[in-house]
Structure 1
Amino acid sequence: MYTANALKKLLSSIDQGEFKYQKKEKQRIDWTAYDCAQIHEISDMLKIIRDTVDYVCEELDIDSKPKSRGRPPTHPGDVAKALLMQQYFRIAHRVAEGLVHLFKEKLGVSEFSYKTIERGYDRDDVKTILYRILGWRSTAHFNPPDFPYASRRMCFSLSLSAFSWR
């Protein structure tokens, strides 16, 4: 970092032609690796979502056994996978339902309606999974109305922080 005086000296040496520029070697771009990364991005992200949510559900011993009569709840891991996929693609609940149908084998989820995805933000077991994966330590960071529009970078700078969070 330059101070004001050092910056003035540098600029004047450039103006007077006294500055000695050291040319850097041009780095080769591996276009094959770039193309491969672009081609496999969605597949890799869905695999990361599946593996991470499955790991967290196993680690937290999350189960969806019915506690009462009636229709059993959708597994919280399945809902968390749908919510994370929804955030990755930045899509609405109804479109997310369609992608759950399309990618159910890749994500390892059952089919469910967009209302299940919508209600997932209110389920404590789903929130627990999301807190764990995204490295959030308190509910203060979780604002469901804003969550669908949160930046992809924030949500998916996973670096698999789920594995080190306590």
Structure 2
Amino acid sequence: MTPHQILAVALRLVAVAWVLHTLGQVTEALNLAERTELSRMGLALTWAVIAAQLLASLLMWIFPATAASLLLRDRARIVVPSTISATQWATLGVALLGVWILSRGIPDAVYWITLLKLLSSVDLDLMRTLNSEQRAGMAGTMVEVLIGGGFLFGARRVAGFVLRGTAAAHP
């Protein structure tokens, strides 16, 4: 792989991580809107920032080679491609992204499991005891752990999806 191809794959992986992070911001924005009375302008600004992040990550996903070309302008030099294939690099990147996502999700999951265990020992109705922010946080943590596990244990399949349609997939 050439540096251009490596950067294109890395940009796609960053786009995935950015989308996942932005989705976490969506739940926080919904909770904030529910808890406080934001002005229409404040609410519109919040959603505009989230939309801009999703658009930027979409552009990074669709045009990774173009972005890599803009970032690596020195195409005149002859570069010896790496002996490691694009699929191996992408698989490594996806697996590392899965580890990173799990490193954030597992501590949250332990917190929620502990809280649920403590609440259930008091014989409370869990759905009435937990407010909407806590239920949303729990759901977000479950999704985070599922995605992280999917990336870690399905790295080869996810990498194939990341590489589909890129020049790095067909050196």
Regarding TM over 0.5, the answer is no
Higher helix share: 2
